[in-house]
């Protein structure tokens, strides 16, 4: 989409090898790709394909075995813990499958948390958190604890928390894994919208092909390798949704009945 898109994440020949006894497991095997600024990128793969590991590597949560990962030109795999923490404060946001809200804190406090770590003054961060919660439609849920909210609402809090510090990159790990279809759609739209407004980059990991339609680009991962990279054509959105041939039957029938827009263009090759 962008005119001259800038690379924010560069993954170069990354390997992650786990040792199980004498056996070596190549969770990520010689993977290289770039992610561009403002792009919604989806890592699609079945469970065990290594997509989550790849996300962890990009976020600096796990250490890679070999290769390089540059985020905004900084080698994230070389940063020490303190630098990494400061880097996360500044540039990274996270949305998790199981929301990962702190149970003892209210929605507002949860959203404030990244700003607390960032030493943002109390008044300012409170205002920022409120604004963010408003944006995700939880204006009247500020004082609610996570347990008092539905899954969808909790994930909205999670999204608000991920975006509140205005990070340039937000990682989302199966963000809709615990949600029903309707809520899934709402949540995905929300993520897309907020990211789009602020030109933020989204890296989402999922096994659900139907979610790929929200992405600008889909990177298919299989057995720790990049299988293909597809560009999704959003121009078709306005037209009557065109159901592209889906290779497998795992796609939800429900989804098609919903008339979900967008499609995954499998035939397109990577640029």
Partner 1 sequence: MRISDLFKMGLRNLSRRKARTGLTVLGVIIGTISIVIMVSIGIGMNNSFDKQFMENGAMTVIRIERYGSIIDDDGNWLGSKEQVLDDNLVELVRQVEHVNAVAPVLDTSAKLTSGKYETYISLRAIGHEAFAEFGYPGLLSGAYPTAENNKSVVIPGYVLENYFYNPSSRNYETKAIDPAKDKITFKFDEWRYTQNERKKAFALDLTEIAVMEESENWEFNSYVYFDMDYFKEIYTKYANTLKLEDRKKAMAELQNYSFIMINVDNIKNVTRVQEDIEALGYVTYSEMQYLEPLKQTSDMLQMVLGAIGALAMMVSAINIANTMVMSIYERTREIGIMKVLGCLVKDVKKLFLFEAAMIGLLGGIVGIVLSYVASFAINKYGGPLFQTLMQSSGVYDVGDAKFSVIPFWLPFLAAGFAMLIGVLAGYFPARRATKISAIEAMKTDS
Interface residue with partner 1 among 4, 19, 20, 82 (CB under 8 A) is 82
Contact 163, 93 (CB under 8 A): yes
Which one of the spans 6-14, 37-45, 99-107, 241-249 is the region binding partner 1 (CB under 8 A)?
Answer: 99-107
Residue 56 touching partner 1 (CB under 8 A): yes
Among residues 198, 199, 140, 131, the alpha carbon closest in space to that of 160 is found at: 131
Q: How far is the CB of 29 from partner 1 (least distance, A)?
A: 20
Among 268, 251, 269, which residue's Cα sits nearest to residue 260?
251
Window of 57-65, 141-149, 248-256, 262-270 that interacts with partner 1 by CB under 8 A: 57-65
Binding residue count for partner 1, defined by CB under 8 A: 32
Taking alpha carbons only, the member of 65, 117, 129, 111 closest to residue 89 is 117
By CB under 8 A, residue 78 contacts partner 1: no
How far CA 163 is from CA of 24, 48, 93, 197, in Å, comes to 37, 28, 6, 11
Closest separation in Å from C-beta 143 to partner 1: 15
Closest CB to partner 1 among 36 and 99? 99
Site for partner 1 (CB under 8 A): which residue of 3, 4, 119, 267?
119
Closest listed residue to residue 157, CA positions, set 173, 182, 175: 175
Q: How far apart are CA 202 and CA 181, in angstroms?
A: 21
Residue 52 binding partner 1, by CB under 8 A: yes
Name the residue among 242, 234, 231, 220 with its Cα closest to residue 268: 231
Residue selected from 31, 58, 92, 157 as contacting partner 1 according to rule CB under 8 A: 92
- 163 near partner 1 (CB under 8 A): no
Nearest to 136 by CA among 190, 204, 100, 85: 190
Q: Does 72 bind partner 1 (CB under 8 A)?
A: no
The yes or no reply on residue 94 touching partner 1 (CB under 8 A) is yes
Q: How far from chain centre, in Å, is Cα 154?
A: 16
Residues that bind partner 1 (CB under 8 A): 52, 56, 59, 61-62, 81-82, 85-86, 88-89, 92, 94, 96-98, 100, 102, 104-105, 113-114, 116-119, 122, 161, 165, 173-174, 177
């Amino acid at each position: 989409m962008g005119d001259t898109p800038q690379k924010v994440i560069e993954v170069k020949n990354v390997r992650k090898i786990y040792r199980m006894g004498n056996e070596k497991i190549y969770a990520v095997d010689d993977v290289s790709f770039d992610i561009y600024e403002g792009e919604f990128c989806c890592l699609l793969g079945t469970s065990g394909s290594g997509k989550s590991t790849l996300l962890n590597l990009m976020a600096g949560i796990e250490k890679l075995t070999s290769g390089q990962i540059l985020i905004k030109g900084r080698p994230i795999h070389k940063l020490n813990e303190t630098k990494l923490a400061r880097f996360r404060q500044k540039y990274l946001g996270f949305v998790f499958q199981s929301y990962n809200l702190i149970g003892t804190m209210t929605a507002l406090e949860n959203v404030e948390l990244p700003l607390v770590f960032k030493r943002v003054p109390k008044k300012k961060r409170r205002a920022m958190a409120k604004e963010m919660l408003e944006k995700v439609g939880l204006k009247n849920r500020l004082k609610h604890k996570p347990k008092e909210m539905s899954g969808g609402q909790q994930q909205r809090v999670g999204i608000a928390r991920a975006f509140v510090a205005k990070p340039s990159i937000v990682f989302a790990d199966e963000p809709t894994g615990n949600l029903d279809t309707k809520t899934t759609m709402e949540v995905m739209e929300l993520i897309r919208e907020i990211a789009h407004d602020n030109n933020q980059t989204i890296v989402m990991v999922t096994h659900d092909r139907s979610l790929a339609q929200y992405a600008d680009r889909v990177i298919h991962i299989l057995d720790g390798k990049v299988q293909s990279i597809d560009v999704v054509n959003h121009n078709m959105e306005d037209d009557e949704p065109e159901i592209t041939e889906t290779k497998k039957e795992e796609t939800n029938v429900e989804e098609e009945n919903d008339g979900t827009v967008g499609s995954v263009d499998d035939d397109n090759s990577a640029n």
